[in-house]
Amino acid sequence: MILTETPPGTPPTTPGAPSATIPPAANWRTLPAVQQPTWSDPALAARVMDHLALQPSLTAPADVRRLGAALAHVSAGRAFLVQAGDCAEPVGAAGLAAVRGKHRVIGEMAEIISSAWNAPTVTVGRIAGQYAKPRSQPQETVDGRTLPVFRGSMVNAPEPDPAARRHDPRRMLTAYHTARGVLGELHLIAHETASGQLSELWAPDAEPWTGQLPTRPWDGTLRSIVRDYGQTRRTDGTWRRTGMWTSHEALVLDYEQAFVRLDPFTGEHYLLSTHQPWIGERTRQTDGAHVAFAARIANPVGLKVGPDADPATVVELCRRLDPHRRPGRLTLITRMGAARVRDRLPRIVRAVEEAGHEVVWACDPMHGNTVTEGGRKTRHLSAVHDEIRGFFEVLRRAGQWPGGVHLEVAGDHVTECLGDHGPKDAAGLARAYRTLCDPRLNDDQARATAGLIADLIAR
Ligand code: PEP
Ligand code: MN
């Protein structure tokens, strides 16, 4: 296929290199885009976008395709998806410092879950790009002053100060450079792990790793994907974590558009700011810019689905985002709330199944369970766990694979969610409440959540 499918007049480029033509994904510009920054200097914003469009991409089309293949295995019930990380990532040194902790805890969750059923976990971070936030209110009042809300470090700063809250387009550059640094860290970690793996294989009594595969009916494709980006079996039968794919909410379309690049080998356009972008609950308008943008890129795409989504709308979104009904192209990230998941989700699952989309069903048990205690946003671990239980019940009853979870987790011992392994009351939240936006599970709560998932899978 391939080169002949490239639009006429398009110069050949190397994969991921900036494309000289305006990609078709730019059609979103004619559609309403909600939750966009109001840049303080629009001319500067335009220059920043031009500059970013000439920068090296952050991901490569071949890797994005491999994640797509891994997610097809998840949709078929042969692997489990763990997608997790910050609600809002910090930029700069703080962003880089947090990478190892997050990689470790997500890898530990993967090991716990994989051990339950002897099959791989596909690990995707909310990482290397999660710098923009949709908000329910445009303004907030802090100490009597009304300020524009914090919209993620790609847009403004969290400090409660009018100057910090301006939408500064130069922040898109900071976000890009931080993402590059974070990816560098992730590559280093993967390299370190791989070297360990090699010495293990070279040990005289070690069997080749291909001899250690579990007996599940997964094929060679998944095997190699998981070896590089997920997990491998150790010779003692436990799991070794390796790399991690990246994901973020593709919210600020000015930034994302700069990373839509033509893959000359397939003639398709990829969003190379990440591996798997997702569309948030607030920006999934059927005729809106975000859906049109995601519809035109070849990446696997996530879509948040909240309790008020009606089944017909979800099916229409599936039709637009997954017109070819490609297994794993679409991950439906349901975030219903513990109180509503058993009531609202069954109809949606049935409608999507009847429409013939082989999606990955993933449970976000965080965003439907946010409460305020003592002036701080928090979540009760018990509610998070109850939504996961409800999700498994609904999917199982529908004969579908509960394919994954989507969590907000920190790589250390923060005190942002209430309950077991964390603060018991609102006063305890203050001890290490460090999130830039929504409350995250701490490392112990994340491992406990993986334990629950392992139990539910093994059941
Ligand atoms: C988020 O994932 O941080 C988020 C804002 O989610 P949602 O779009 O589901 O509200
Ligand atoms: Mn969040």
Full DSSP string of 421-455: TS-SSHHHHGGG---SSS--B-HHHHHHHHHHHHH
CA contacts within 13 A on the Cβ side of 114: 29
User: Is the shortest distance between the CB of 267 and ligand 1 below 6 Å?
Assistant: no
pLDDT digits (tens, 9 = 90+) for 392-433: 999 999 999 999 999 999 999 999 999 999 999 999 999 999
Residue 200 in this model has a pLDDT that exceeds 80: no
Query: Could you tell me the two tokens for 151?
Result: 């919209």
Ligand nearest to the backbone CA of 308: 1
Which CA distances in Å does 402 have to 263, 359, 396, 457? Answer: 33, 11, 7, 9
Among 351, 356, 342, residue whose Cα is nearest residue 392: 342
Nearest CA to 363 among 389, 329, 398?
389
Q: Which protein residues have a CB closer than 5 Å to ligand 2 (ion)?
A: 87, 438
Q: E strand or H helix at 74, and its extent? A: helix 61-75
Helix axes 341-354, 381-397, angle to 10 degrees: 40
The pTM assigned to this predicted structure is 0.90
pLDDT at 9: 35
Asked whether residue 438 is marked as a ligand-binding residue, the answer is yes
Question: Which is it for strands 360-363 and 371-373: parallel, antiparallel or unpaired?
Answer: unpaired
Alpha-carbon distance of 152 to 130, in angstroms, equals 8
- Is the CB of 86 inside a 6 Å radius of any atom of ligand 1? no
Binned at pLDDT 50, 70 and 90, residue 190 comes out as confident
Positive/negative CA dihedral, 382, 248, 90, 451:
positive
- Asked if residues 394 and 361 have their Cβ atoms less than 8 Å apart, the reply is no
Query: Which of 35, 126, 153, 304 most suits a substitution to test ligand 1, by most atoms within 8 Å of the C-beta?
Result: 304
Residue 281 CB–ligand 1 contact under 6 Å: yes
User: What was the ipTM of the complex prediction?
Assistant: 0.99
Cα–Cα distance for residue pair 393/374, rounded to 1 Å: 33
